[in-house]
Structures are given as structure tokens and as C-alpha cells.
Amino acid sequence: MGKIKKKGTSGQAKNYITRTQAVRKLQISLPDFRRLCIFKGIYPREPRNKKKASKTATQNTTFYYTKDIQYLLHEPLLAKFRDQKAVAKKIARSLGRGEVGDASRIEKNHAPQLTLDHIIKERYPTFIDALRDLDDALSLLFLFANLPSTTHVPPKTIALCQRVTHEFQHYLITTNSLRKSFLSIKGIYYQATIQGQDIMWLVPYRFVQRVNGDVDYRIMATFVELYTTLLGFVNFRLYSSLGLRYPPKFDKRSDENGAELAAFTLEGRAVADAPKAIGTGNKQTNSLTNQEVSSEVQAKVDKVIKSAGLDKTKPEQPTEATEESTEAIDKFEPTAPEADTLPQPDISGEEAGSLFAPFTFYISREAPKAPLEFMLRAFGCKRIGWDTILGDGAFTHNEADPRITHQIVDRPTLPESSLPAIPAAAENGDDGATQKVKPGTRIPGRTYIQPQWVWDCINEGKLLRPDLYAPGETLPPHLSPWVKATKGAYDPRATLAEQEEEGEAEIAADEEEKEESDEEMEEAPAAKKVAAKDESEAEDDESVDGGMDIANSDDDSESEEEDEEESEEEDASPLEDDNASQSEDEEEVARTQHQKELEAEAAGLPFSSNGANDDSKKKKSSQAKKVAAKKRKEEEELDRQKMMMSRKKRKLLEKMMYSNKKQSDESAKLRSKRRKIEKGAEK
């Protein structure tokens, strides 16, 4: 007889453990257990059968893997949590006795400090693993960097998040690693490519944030603690790969004045070797440290080079140019117009670094300074100015500086009567630091654009027409750079003629005409009543003047016409019977046309009887009939092909057709909306 197996010693009952059992096994509190699980990356699991996993399981029971909890038993953080609990008891005892000095001393000198370095090394054994898991970390840290300080979010946490995120942005600016960006309802999406890994994160807009009590900030603070350690490791590795010193030099005073990115100064022995945005070679060695070489020193250096005979590298320049040309990214073109469009590669680092390099930008007060400064610097712009109210670190605070080539404006053009006046001190030039420009005025030789121009140029990889983004102009559609246009889907950048199917415009025009005619028919009864009253009054007048003779004459003429018709019917040959149906149709068309004329005349509307409108209507109706007949033939052919398929393939084809029809209906609805908007704009 075999050994009797005890219940609950194998299977799901052994593989899973409840949260209460796990807390008791680790001998820590529930908040510490949550923190430990977040640090170690251990999440709840759902067993297949909760009754087998535990006898007392309910719907709300949380389960974990038993092996995960066993793994946590050897975690060094458990001892730190217990030490923190012991110190908290001592502080509470001192406060209970009224010994505030002892309590502060214990908290300052004996409180254990948690270090998560070993956890980062365990969870990310390679640097590529850390880069792949950087999306959520950057999104959360940028969120906390824009939150206001409250009891739940201390100022130290916000300052730490701002510092590590600005350090990461400086690396992207130095290496030109930023690739794409998109303005959405949630915030601004960014995508950067670092060591072959695409990293995307979300930065919220700088609105006034309302901190609600529905969010558990203790759990979010635990994630922030983990992610700040992770991003600190990543920044150190990235800066070390460029030969830069980490952490970079930080000016606290300029940061308090709103400098943000300009409060950091990168230092290192290999600063000149890092990829720069403007130019190549030795011309960019001192661009990062904001040092300019004087012309006299440069002339002396050139003399020494010529005297030493070191200027013989001119014939080698073509070879360098050819090498650079081979590094250009190829563009894939389809071999046939019916072929699929191939995805094009992104712009290279050199192209990204020289996109805005030759320009000098000035950001107006109403435009978002932080994202614009980051994106312009990441794509090569070295000279960016803004108003003094936006903070320190600008290239110039003078809006009338002649070196400014582009000004970013985000307010509509207003008449001069509604513009505010400039203070007298600024007009007389008393304010020497900045020179004020009258609001609404345009400086000649400067390009005025809206902020969307920067985003669209970056996503397209080239400079777009600035006149389309001028202040007050209707901006082009801002589409996501990660969503590619598919065949048959609606594309707001293309014209309606390029997207409409065969006969779609004619069918839409017929439907609009029918709707207009229905509206006219609804408006006509009121006009008919007025016309009927006028006609009755006229008939009464005619009867008084002797209208009986006219009526008799009409009856005589009608009787004569009837006699003529009877004689014509008797003389008609049997060959004319074939055309009887056509004549009846023509009579019906004439009657309906006559009825429409009467209705239009009663309503006081113009009506063309046999003009060009009838010909165009006939053409449209014939074309619509042809399109309908063509669709009917295609459907019949498809039904024949379905009959030859197996059941499995037929079901698959029906699913594909359903999804394609759904997509085409959505695109047709969007096209119809756009058609109405364009017609309304024309009117």
C-alpha cells in the first residue's frame, strides 16, 4: 500500500502563498512588505484555482509565488527595516518623555540609511537591460519633477527628480540622441535612441497640478526612490562613456533664478571628443564651455602651423568627405507604385545636430520655454534667447537683438488699438539690460513662427515652410510620428481627391442635393399657403370680369386635343409600342420637373428647367449607377470565390473583410466631415 499524501503539501497549495502568510513569514509590516516587493520586482500572481491554492481563499485574496517569498528571506533590506522600526520606537519613547533633543539626535545619528545599489545590480545585470527599462522611470521622474511640494511630496524629492532628469537631458543634448517628439493631450512624448535602444517617455505640461487624496503617494514615492537610483547609475555610465565628469557642476543660485538646463556645466577631459551639433573637427572644441577663441590667437596658431609644415592635410579632405558620405542613411524607394511603402530610417546624429544650428531663436513669454529650449539645443541650436521673466541662462534677453533669426510666438495678431502701451522708462532707454519691443510689432528680417513648427521639423527631419506656421495661421495637422499612414486609412495631410474612392464625390453630392431638396420641401408648405391665397383672390377677380368665356374656350381646346390624340392612337403603327415605356418615363420626368418648378415658384426660389444642371445631374446619376453596378459585380465575384473556399479560410476572409470595412467606414466618415468643413469655409 502506497504512502498517503497529505493535503496541501503539493501542487498549487505549495506553489502559492497568501499575502498574510508572506507578511508573517518575513516578520515585517505590510507597508514594508510592499516596499520590499517594489524594490525586488516581485508582483502578485493569480493561481488557476484559488480553492486549491488555499482553503480560506476568497475573491479578494492576493497570492504570491512561494519561491519569491523564500527568496526575500535573505534580503539585506530586511535588517534595515527592523533597525528603522527599532529607531522609531526609541524616538517615540523620547518624545513621550518630552526629550525632544534626544529624539532629534537619535533621528540624525542613528537612523539607518537605505542603499539600493545592490538591487539595481541584481535586477539589471547588463547596461542594455537598464536602458530597456528606462521608459517608466523617466515618465515617473518627470512627473514628480513638475509636481508642487506638499506633505505627501517633499521638496527634496522634487529637487532630486529635477536634477537627475536635467542631467539626462544634457546627455541627449550633447550626443544629439533625441529623435522624435509629439504633442498630445496627456503631455509631450519624447523618443531618444541610446546605444541602439529606443527610449520613449512622457513629460506633463506645466499646468497647476492639483494633488488629490485618491492617489497613494507612499507607493509612488517608493518607485521614485528606486528610479532615481536607477537613473543615477545610467547617467553615470553615459557620462563616463563620453569622458565627462559626473555629477556635472551645478549652480544652485542660477537654478533658483529659473535657469534649469543652464544651471549645469559639463566638465571633463574628453569634452571636445563628444559629438557636437555644429560643425566637425577642432572648431567645436570649446563650444560646450562657452569659450571663444580670439582672432589674434587663431592667426598666431595658423602661422605656427604653416611654418612647421603641418598644413599638408588638404588633399586628404576629399577622402574624408567620401567617408562621411558613405555614412549617410539610405532611403528606400518602392520598385512599383502598387508596392508597399517601406519604412524610412530615422535621421542620423549629424543631421539632427545641424538642423537648427545656423539659427538664433527667441522664445516669447507665452511660449513654453522648457520643452522648446531642450528640443532646440538637442537639434543643434546654441543661441536661444527669452525674456528675463522666464529665468536666467538665455543667450540674450533683448528682443530687438539683430542676431535673432527666428522668434517663436504663440499669440494671435491683434490690432494696434487693442495693444498695451510700452512704459515710458523702456521707451526712453532707461532699462539698459533689455530693450522692449511694442507688442504685436514685427521686426523686419525675422521669421515669426508658432511652436508647432519646431515639433514638425524634428519629426520630418527637415526644415518646413515657416509661412504655414505664421502667427494667426491655421496650423497643419500635428500627427503622431509613430503612426504610419496605411492604405485605405484617412490621412489628414492628403487632399480629398487623393483619398476618395471612385464615384464617392458624386454620391456625396447627390446626397447633399437630396438633403437640400428635402429642406426646401419642408419650407415650401408655408409659401404654398400664401401662394394659394393669392391665386384664390385672382380667380375671384377673373370670375367677376367674365371668366366663364375663358373657361369655355379651355374646354373646347381640351376636347379638340382629345380628338386629335384619339386619331393619332388609331393611326399609330405597332412598331411604336416598343417606345411606349420610354415616352412614359419622359412624361414622368417632365411632370416631376413641372412640379418642382411650381414649388420653387411658390417658395420664391430660382429654378433652372433645362440648363446645365440637368446634364450634370444626369452625368452624376449615370456615374453613380456605374459605380453601383461595378460594386455589385465585385460582390458577386467574391461570393463565387467564397463558395470554392474551405470553411476555415472563408471565416478568416470574413473577419478580414469586416475589419477592412470598419476601417473604410471610419475613413469615409472622416472624409465626409472634412468635405462639409471645406464647403462651409468656401461659403
Cis peptide before 154 (omega within 30 of 0): no
Residue 683: pLDDT band (50, 70, 90) is low
Residue 111: pLDDT band (50, 70, 90) is confident
Residue 504 vs residue 484, higher pLDDT: 484
Residue 381: pLDDT band (50, 70, 90) is very high
Average pLDDT of the residues in 598-603: 70
- So what's the pLDDT on residue 283? 38
- So what's the pLDDT on residue 278? 37
Give Cβ neighbours of residue 73 (< 8 Å, ≥ 6 apart).
25, 26
pLDDT for 30-56, tens place per residue? 999 999 999 999 999 998 888 788 776
Give Cβ neighbours of residue 461 (< 8 Å, ≥ 6 apart).
346, 347, 351, 355
For residue 611, count CB atoms less than 10 angstroms from its CB and return exposed for 0-12, middle for 13-18, buried for 19 or more: exposed
| Chain center to CA of 7 | 56
Q: How far is it, in rounded angstroms, from Cα 247 to Cα 267?
A: 9
- So what's the pLDDT on residue 673? 82
Residue 502 pLDDT more than 70?
no
Contact status, residue 156 vs residue 225, Cβ threshold 8 Å: no
Query: How large a percentage of the chain has pLDDT more than 70?
Result: 66
Residue 172: pLDDT band (50, 70, 90) is very high
Lookup result for grid cell 533689455 = 434
Contact status, residue 212 vs residue 144, Cβ threshold 8 Å: no
Residue 452 pLDDT more than 60?
yes
Residue 91 pLDDT more than 80?
yes
Residue 385 pLDDT more than 60?
yes
State whether residue 482 is helix, strand or coil: coil
- So what's the pLDDT on residue 516? 64
The length of the chain in residues reads 683
Q: Domain extents for the chain?
A: 12-109, 122-265, 355-415+432-483, 501-518+615-683
Q: What rounded mean pLDDT belongs to the chain?
A: 77
Residue 418 pLDDT more than 90?
no
Residue 151 pLDDT more than 60?
yes
Q: How far is it, in rounded angstroms, from Cα 312 to Cα 316?
A: 8
C-alpha distances in Å from residue 18, one per residue of 23, 57, 62, 349: 9, 9, 6, 51
Average pLDDT of the residues in 362-391: 93
- So what's the pLDDT on residue 633? 85
CA-based R_g, the chain, Å: 40
Contact status, residue 78 vs residue 28, Cβ threshold 8 Å: yes
Average pLDDT of the residues in 273-289: 40
520 grid coordinates: 426646401
Average pLDDT of the residues in 193-197: 93
- CATH for the stretch 355-415+432-483: 3.40.50.10190
Q: How far is it, in rounded angstroms, from Cα 317 to Cα 382?
A: 27
Dihedral (CA of 607, 613, 615, 616) sign: negative
Mapping DSSP onto H, E and C, the string for 542-576 reads HHHCCCHHHHHHHHHHHHHHHHHHHHHHHHCCHHH
Average pLDDT of the residues in 320-337: 51
- So what's the pLDDT on residue 333? 66
Contact status, residue 502 vs residue 476, Cβ threshold 8 Å: no
- So what's the pLDDT on residue 645? 86
Residue 515: pLDDT band (50, 70, 90) is low
Q: Rounded to the nearest 10 degrees, what angle do helices 30-40 and 217-242 cross at?
A: 30
C-alpha distances in Å from residue 655, one per residue of 648, 649, 658, 662: 11, 10, 5, 11
Contact status, residue 448 vs residue 470, Cβ threshold 8 Å: yes
Q: How far is it, in rounded angstroms, from Cα 671 to Cα 508?
A: 10
Residue 7 vs residue 21, higher pLDDT: 21
pLDDT for 55-78, tens place per residue? 766 777 899 999 999 999 999 999
pLDDT for 555-590, tens place per residue? 454 555 555 555 544 444 444 454 555 566 667 767
Average pLDDT of the residues in 267-283: 49
Q: How far is it, in rounded angstroms, from Cα 586 to Cα 54?
A: 85
- So what's the pLDDT on residue 342? 58
Residue 295 pLDDT more than 70?
no
Contact status, residue 373 vs residue 363, Cβ threshold 8 Å: yes
Residue 271 pLDDT more than 70?
no
pLDDT for 633-673, tens place per residue? 888 888 888 888 898 888 888 888 888 888 888 888 888 88
Residue 197, beta-bridge partner list: 194
Residue 184 pLDDT more than 90?
yes
State whether residue 386 is helix, strand or coil: strand
| Chain center to CA of 446 | 29
H or E stretch covering 645? none
C-alpha distances in Å from residue 232, one per residue of 159, 192, 202, 328: 14, 18, 19, 34
Average pLDDT of the residues in 385-401: 90
pLDDT for 112-134, tens place per residue? 888 999 999 999 999 999 999 99
- Indicate the pTM of the whole model: 0.70
pLDDT for 363-376, tens place per residue? 999 999 999 999 99
Q: How far apart are the first and last CA of the chain?
A: 95
Residue 316 pLDDT more than 90?
no
Residue 546: pLDDT band (50, 70, 90) is very low
C-alpha distances in Å from residue 412, one per residue of 206, 422, 470, 676: 21, 19, 10, 26
Q: How far is it, in rounded angstroms, from Cα 513 to Cα 478?
A: 33
Mapping DSSP onto H, E and C, the string for 140-201 reads HHHHHHCCCCCCCCCHHHHHHHHHHHHHHHHHHHHHCCEEEEEECCCCEEEEEEECCEEEEE
Residue 35 vs residue 270, higher pLDDT: 35
Residue 308 pLDDT more than 90?
no
Average pLDDT of the residues in 233-255: 92
Average pLDDT of the residues in 302-321: 46
By mean pLDDT, which of 1-15, 146-160, 596-610 is the weakest? 596-610
Residue 632 pLDDT more than 90?
no
For residue 625, report the phi and psi dihedrals to the nearest 5 degrees.
-65, -40
By mean pLDDT, which of 223-237, 312-326, 558-572 is the weakest? 312-326
Q: How far is it, in rounded angstroms, from Cα 278 to Cα 512?
A: 56
For residue 593, count CB atoms less than 10 angstroms from its CB and return exposed for 0-12, middle for 13-18, buried for 19 or more: middle
Average pLDDT of the residues in 295-319: 49
